[in-house]
């Protein structure tokens, strides 16, 4: 099954919930495992929340969801800049009251996540997640 959908949402907190609801609806059409559905809900929530928080003030939050057989790809883009010195493999900050957990959570839950190079005034985060618990061995 192939599904693709692109949204352009306003830079406001309610857009995070809207994106998560759209993803949940699309995943209901697939055989995605409960674990994958839960991880994807967290992944889109964190990616969209970061875009809403860090995008330029007049930027939209652009979300593309593509499901191709047993893989889901989420792309979240906005006008702004990629965080300097912050990688997706960063450790969780402490204490619990400090922010900055989004990218480490994305790295931990995704099968692949990268900032995709593009124009200097655009940020695009691409996340990949398998929808089933069983994956084909890597060759």
Asked if 61 contacts 15 with a C-beta cutoff of 8 angstroms, the reply is yes
The structure tokens listed for 84 are: 């300097």
- In this structure, the chain runs to a length of 139
pTM for the model stands at 0.85
What pLDDT, in 10s, does the model give residues 67-95? Answer: 999 999 999 999 987 766 555 655 555 55
**Are the beta carbons of 76 and 48 closer than 8 angstroms?**
yes
Residue 27 structural domain: 2-130
In this structure, is residue 102 part of a structural domain? yes
Give the residue from 2, 72, 71, 70 showing the smallest Cα distance to 44: 72
When divided into structural domains, the chain yields a total of 1
Under DSSP, the state recorded for 70 is T
Q: Is residue 135 part of a domain?
A: no
Instruction: Residue 30: give its domain's CATH number.
Output: 3.30.565.10
Is residue 50 within 8 Å of 63, Cβ to Cβ? no
Residue 139 lies in a domain: no
Q: Name the token pair of 105.
A: 């959570």
On whether residue 38 sits in a domain, the answer given is yes
Residue 2: asked if its preceding bond is cis (omega within 30°), the reply is no
For residue range 91-135, what is the model confidence (pLDDT) as tens digits?
555 555 445 678 888 989 999 999 988 788 899 999 999 998 654
């Amino acid at each position: 099954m192939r599904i693709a959908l692109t949204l352009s949402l306003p830079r406001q907190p309610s857009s995070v919930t809207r994106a998560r609801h759209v993803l949940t609806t699309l995943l209901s059409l697939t055989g995605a495992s409960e674990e994958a559905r839960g991880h994807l809900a967290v992944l889109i929530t964190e990616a969209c929340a970061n875009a809403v928080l860090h995008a330029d003030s007049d930027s939209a939050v652009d979300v593309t969801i593509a499901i191709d057989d047993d893989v889901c790809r989420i792309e979240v883009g906005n006008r702004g800049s990629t965080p300097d010195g912050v990688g997706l493999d960063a450790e969780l900050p402490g204490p619990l009251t400090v922010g900055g957990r989004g990218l480490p959570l994305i790295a931990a839950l995704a099968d692949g996540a990268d900032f995709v190079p593009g124009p200097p005034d655009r940020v695009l985060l691409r996340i990949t997640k398998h929808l089933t618990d069983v994956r084909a061995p890597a060759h």
